[in-house]
Structure 1
Amino acid sequence: MMLIEETAPAAEALPVAALREHLRLGSGFQIAEDSAETAALTGYLRAAIATIEARTGKVLLTRRFRMQLDDWRDRLGQPLPLAPVISVQGISIEDGAGTVTEMAPESWRLLPDSQRPMILPTGVILPHVPRRGSVTATFTAGFGADWAAVPADLAQAVLMLAARYYEDRSFEGSKGAMPFGVSALIERWRQVRTLAGRGSREMR
């Protein structure tokens, strides 16, 4: 499977001010508000968000993704690798020879489950994908467009992890470790994800 993020969270949606305040409360020192420091905090937040999303399969800030599969995992219903999914913009099948056919919107529907959203056929099964072909789905996922929409425990986990990245910025060795407090906050959101279909491709 290939999963491509087509859009990124806007910089103004990131909780830079909240992170600056979190760092001040934790250290007792005022964090500078110059452009260089703001850019650094933004980078740590993006890294923390990416890590939390990878651990949970939940998209914190709304954006668009494109998923490509060699085949459906199950023609009775295809799980999507991320949640919550807001909408599916389109699904197409490529026959392996360059011909792309868009699936009619009335031939499928989105099951917007909070843990395991799925694309379901409106008929009996999803259409056949040729052996050398592929299926591509474009969808939008996320809790919301601004930080206020992110669940409180996930939002706090991001701030704690971003603060750890900031504090350990001169020591790269600790960045692979997940702090216990962060792990505890995200535990209820974690799930075992079943993603791809025939001949699963590397996730990107």
Structure 2
Amino acid sequence: MMLIEETTVPDVALPVAEFKAHLRLGTGFGEESLQEGVLRGFLRAAIAAIEARTGKVLITRDFTWTLTGWRDRAGQVLPVAPVTEITQVTLIDAIDTESELAASDFRLEADSQRPRLRPSGSLLPMIKTGSVVRIGFTAGYAETWGGLPADLGQAVLLLAAHYYEYRNETALSDGCMPFGVTSLIQRYRAIRIGVGAGL
């Protein structure tokens, strides 16, 4: 399996002004824009960390996901949520011949935790040995920062501020995330029950 982010979070979607206010950085000195690139970097890092921890995409982007086989031909769970659209399903055989499924052959079963690619009929098409399927989809809560759930937005600002404040600290443990951030994102984390409850 390979998940590729086809588009990135645009700079205009990053809350640089809100982050400056959160950090209580001074304004009006004429050189405040010099640090904006650094602040955007911390915001992108915080977004990536929260998305990795929750399996949720914050700002809407396009992805492609390549699989060598279905987990369940009655419906394949997608790797992230929330998915808003499945744009393409393409079968690629062992000699790289591509066969795109018609949009009428599949549908999106929207779900806040485990969205699925469902067949219009009873089963998704067979993936032969040596072949793969490539799924294109769009995922994300909002296209702009203002459209995000407030708790996720606050979690990003808190984590980005943590990264900023401890940017020179090398002794922090791997995966260190402040308690306030963990509390804010807890309800978004996927619940996995039993054997094979993953993707």
CA distance in 2, matches of 1:130, 1:35: 54
CA distance in 1, matches of 2:99, 2:109: 22
User: SS of the residue aligned with 1:22?
Assistant: helix
CA distance in 2, matches of 1:105, 1:176: 40
User: SS of the residue aligned with 1:164?
Assistant: helix
User: SS of the residue aligned with 2:171?
Assistant: helix
CA distance in 2, matches of 1:68, 1:172: 36
- Kindly indicate whether structure 1 or structure 2 has the higher relative contact order, using CA contacts under 8 Å at least 6 residues apart: 1
1:88-99 equivalent positions in 2, closer than 5 A: 88-99=86-97
Deviations 1:50-76 (A, max 9, x none): 000000011100000000000111100
What value does the CA root-mean-square deviation take over the aligned residues? 1.4
Match of 1:6 in 2: 6
Match of 1:30 in 2: 26
Using the TM superposition, give the Cα deviation of residue 34 of structure 1 relative to its aligned residue in structure 2, in angstroms. Answer: 2.6
Query: Tell me, which stretches of 5 or more residues in structure 1 are unaligned?
Result: 196-204
Corresponding residue pairs, total: 191
Using the TM superposition, give the Cα deviation of residue 35 of structure 1 relative to its aligned residue in structure 2, in angstroms. Answer: 3.0
Deviations 1:51-105 (A, max 9, x none): 0000001110000000000011110000011111111110001111221110111
Q: What letter matches 1:74 in structure 2?
A: D
User: SS of the residue aligned with 2:52?
Assistant: helix
Deviations 1:11-36 (A, max 9, x none): 01101111111111xxxx52676333
Match of 2:110 in 1: 112
CA distance in 1, matches of 2:2, 2:62: 14
CA distance in 1, matches of 2:156, 2:9: 14
1:15-94 equivalent positions in 2, closer than 5 A: 15-24=15-24, 30=26, 34-94=32-92
Query: What is the percent sequence identity of the aligned residues?
Result: 50
1:144 aligns with 2:175: no
- The TM-score, its normalising length taken from structure 1, stands at 0.90
User: SS of the residue aligned with 1:155?
Assistant: helix
User: SS of the residue aligned with 1:172?
Assistant: coil
Match of 1:102 in 2: 100
CA contact (8 A) 1:77 1:125 kept: yes
CA contact (8 A) 1:81 1:194 kept: no
Deviations 1:113-165 (A, max 9, x none): 11111000110100000111100000000011100111111100000000000
Query: Tell me, which stretches of 5 or more residues in structure 2 are unaligned?
Result: none
